[in-house]
Chains A and B, each alone.
Chain A
Amino acid sequence: MKALEFRRNVPRFAAARLAGSLTPGRGASVGPLHLADLDPPTAPGPDWVRVRPRLSGICGSDLATIDGRSARYFEPFVSFPFVPGHEVVGDLDDGTRVVLEPVLGCVSRNLDPTCDPCATGQLGNCENTTFGDLEPGIQTGSCHDTGGGWATAFSAHPSQLHPVDGSFSDESAVMVEPTACAVHAALVADVPDGAIVTVLGAGTLGLLTIAALRTFAKPRTVVATARYPSQRRLAAELGADLVVEPDGIRRAVRRATGSRAVSIAGDDGAVDRLSGGTDVVVDCVGSSASLTDAMAITRPRGRIVLVGMPASVSLELTPLWHREIELVGAYTYGTETLPDGSTARTFDLAAGLVRAADLGRLVSATYPLHRYRDALEHAAAAGRRGAVKVAFDLRDEKEREALMEMSK
């Protein structure tokens, strides 16, 4: 079968890091990722099924991996070689169309009893992603045994699969996984009613987080940063009240919150930080710059939710200490407790939001697997090129049918 495989190859990894630093997405051309003809996946266990992807999205974390920017933190949590791809809508051999919930928790690893997070539905917090019957891998797309979505087939545990309503387009369905991340972030943010929330970044995750905040919280004002015109337009459409360029966020939040600016040089009109600030920041970038902005604009005892994958950052933590700011992460999804006390699977909430806000429209471009270099460069430059989500389209891959025949 055809797949994009990522091998452990230190020289190529270094080359990808260099190329990716010059041109985002260029790591695909020189790095460890390559188009391979692999044997069809072998089921890791008796319950496992084969999924033939229809659309498979490219995520920011994928791009970080391809360009060699991932934190070394993840090294124990992956098993080489692996096939990336965790935002997937695909077909089972019986024809059922499914969306993948890619986290590989205790159940898929055949561990009994499960860890406490898995027992309470917090799959993203599973403590056993390097143990059990599977090779290490926090998700499908980083585990050697399961394969991943950037292939004509991979293996999935039934607990990972959500059947898709026939009224859902493939484009909508492939947006469910990233939307689930955003829904989780919006709920982790724990936004007080009437609060002012700031979302940093208007890539896919930032835009979806704005939509999720508008659906699952009751903020008075949502301020957002967006670098490009199409992002600004979409951020406003999805619920941001004020959208500014990243450089202008301190001034914008100062105005929105009625704070005063504090300048290192005194009353010189510069805005180094704010006297008060926004109640909550959801940082969908995860860079040193965005976190520094977040610290500058969050009110005392406010909250910063880190959604964008940060890798290594350099950060002045004095404001965190001095202003008693809370810094929390928001990773993937599982089971959510809603403000009314009820619980729900994040994927179910996300599917509802995708439908209500027509988020399938955010799929801007699709590529066949063999054009992976173009696809990854497009995804890495999505904002600048007026795109949001870029995905691989495997619906016309000839091998899909061949695999189907083999299964018969």
Chain B
Amino acid sequence: MSNGHLAPRPGFVLDVDRSSPPVLFHHGEGFRLEKLPADRTRVIYPAEPLEGLADPDGAIRSALLNPLGDSEPLPALLHSGMKLTIAFDDISLPLPPMRRPDIRQRVIEAVLDLAAEAGVDDVHLIAALAIHRRMTENELRHAVGDRVYDAFAPSGRLYNHDAEDPDGMVVLGQTPHGEDVQFSKRAAESDLVVYVNINLVAMDGGHKSTATGLSGYTGLRHHHNVHTMLNSRSFMDQENSALHASNWRMGKVLRDADVKIFQVETTVNNNTFGREGPMSVLQKREWEWSPKDRAGFLAMQQGLKLMPSAAKRKVFSSWLAPYELTSVQAGEVEAVHEVTTANVYKQQLVPVEGQTDVLTMGLPYICPYNVNSIMNPILVMCLGLGYFFNLYRGKPLVREGGVLIMGHPTPWEFHPVHHPSYIDFFEQVLADTTDPAEIEKKWEKQFAEDEWYKHLYRTSYAYHGAHPFYMWYWGAHALQHLGRVIIVGGDTAAVRRMGFQPASTLQDALEMSTDVVGPQPTITHLKNPPILMADVT
């Protein structure tokens, strides 16, 4: 591992042989050590964490003063009497939440310092959560820092975006494709919108920050749909993503509507679990585990086995990643995002030759939509078939008609406050059909327009009624591509409800996969997290 003296090693592909040790699979709030078949299995390992910037605050200030693309430095855009809106990424980024100070806090404080110097006093800060759940006070404090929170929240100038506020949203126009561009009225009426992003994966950022984050169902439905997902191959690859293209079209409409955006994008390294400490073993390669690592891991395993689910969830939720800032760039949206994407790729991209018959993955305890919450079955599907499956450039890691095996406890359990519409989606919609296109056609509208879901989204901490649909659509490309999906160690009824096959062990799952792909299939294990993106040729 990198110790600050040696250059971090890039990601790589390990060919498993008889001497290869068992591989660590994430398994929700737990882990499994799996012995993978020799001579036909490969494991894709993520790169070691890049070095973080030595002076994050200095780098941020420098980026604000030296913008990219057709943009003036931020101080030149600030003046007394102006209306300034600072929008920032919500609780879904980064994953897991990072240790204080959060990058958003650093950037926002820097922006506010410049605004104060320019005499700007009409400033609003908005958590750009689109139709995600609202952030709690503690979550907002964690993201922006206590100083910013105490200065703005009590006077109502720091708040969560409300996509269902009839007086707070406007439609600014349509793209040439007929897509409504719905936007926060406060942001639209501002002289300047500064967007503060944490770009964890290649899908994040760019025009998506504002065109999605400050939009609502009227706008989102144009790209958060089955057609878009089936034509995004993958949605992590901007060159081949219909999702990306739609957001870029909307970005042009925003520009044409005179919405001035100053984009600040940041990237973090792969230091998800720390270079030292009890969790550091999760980002080490198994054959390099020290006796201390092994003992620590075994002790952790034993401890987790004795804990009830709620206690395990609490332990894992309390983990804050020691992420380090690897880059920050600011200015015009597209110019900024081009550099950001290159920096994301620099950390995450791993070259892989050829596809596999069977793709395996161990799903961790967290995804963008269950921070401080429960990873319900729909989110398991979304993380595996949506996010992880789409972490490719070129072509999918698994061949068409191949098998995806993912491990996760997949409990039939939902957070009633955060995911009320998910409960109904799981119990009514998936009981009817699991076909994304049919679900979209038959069910989406009534959930999206449900007044109770709207009420809970606006006043409680619930995801919007349409959100579980988007989670299901996120996996549409994988569902179309794969011959079978098997979940290892999941709740049998929950797995079957989703149309997947349950298996008790990885060995059973591999045996079951031969029905689809034949005997002695090639196997690839995507060892994620820390995050990697496969560049498949």
Contact = CB atoms under 8 A, between A and B. Distances in A.
Nearest to B452: A260
A251 B452 CA distance: 11
A260 B417 contact: no
Given A255-B446, A255-B450, A258-B450, A267 B456 contact: yes
Interface residues of B, number: 20
Given A251-B423, A268-B416, A269-B417, A259 B452 contact: yes
A244 B431 contact: yes
B419 interface: yes
Q: Top 10 nearest A-B pairs by Cβ distance?
A: A269-B420, A269-B416, A267-B460, A260-B452, A248-B427, A269-B417, A268-B417, A251-B424, A270-B416, A261-B452
Nearest to B447: A255
Contacts of A270: 416
Nearest to B426: A248
A267 B416 CA distance: 10
Query: Which of B423, B428, B460 counts the most A-chain CB atoms under 10 A from its CB?
Result: B428
A284 interface: no
A218 B499 CA distance: 35
Interface string A239-257: 0001011001001101100
B417 A255 contact: no
Contacts of B258: none
Interface string B288-310: 00000000000000000000000
A261 B459 CA distance: 14
Contacts of B462: 267, 269
A260 B416 contact: no
B40 interface: no
23 contacts: A244-B427, A244-B431, A248-B424, A248-B428, A251-B428, A252-B428, A254-B452, A255-B424, A255-B446, A255-B450, A258-B450, A259-B452, A260-B451, A266-B460, A267-B417, A267-B455, A267-B460, A268-B416, A268-B460, A269-B415, A269-B417, A269-B418, A269-B456
Which has the most chain B C-beta neighbours within 10 Å: A245, A248, A266, A267? A267
Contacts of B446: 255
B451 A255 contact: no
A255 B416 contact: no
Q: Which residue, of A244, A255, A258, has the highest number of chain B Cβ atoms within 10 A? A: A255
Nearest to A260: B452
Contacts of B424: 248, 251-252, 255
B439 to A, nearest CB: 15
A203 B462 CA distance: 36
A248 B426 CA distance: 11
Interface string B57-72: 0000000000000000
Nearest to B424: A251
Contacts of B423: 251, 269
A248 B427 CA distance: 7
A269 B460 contact: yes
Nearest to A251: B424
A269 B419 contact: yes
Contacts of A245: 427
A226 to B, nearest CB: 11
Interface string B457-474: 001101000000000000
A242 B452 contact: no
Given A251-B423, A269-B417, A260 B428 contact: no
Nearest to A248: B427
A244 B428 contact: yes
B32 to A, nearest CB: 31
A346 B271 CA distance: 75
A293 to B, nearest CB: 15
Given A255-B446, A260-B451, A268-B460, 19 more contacts: A242-B428, A244-B427, A244-B431, A245-B427, A248-B427, A248-B428, A251-B424, A251-B428, A252-B424, A252-B427, A255-B450, A260-B452, A267-B417, A267-B456, A267-B460, A267-B462, A269-B416, A269-B417, A269-B460
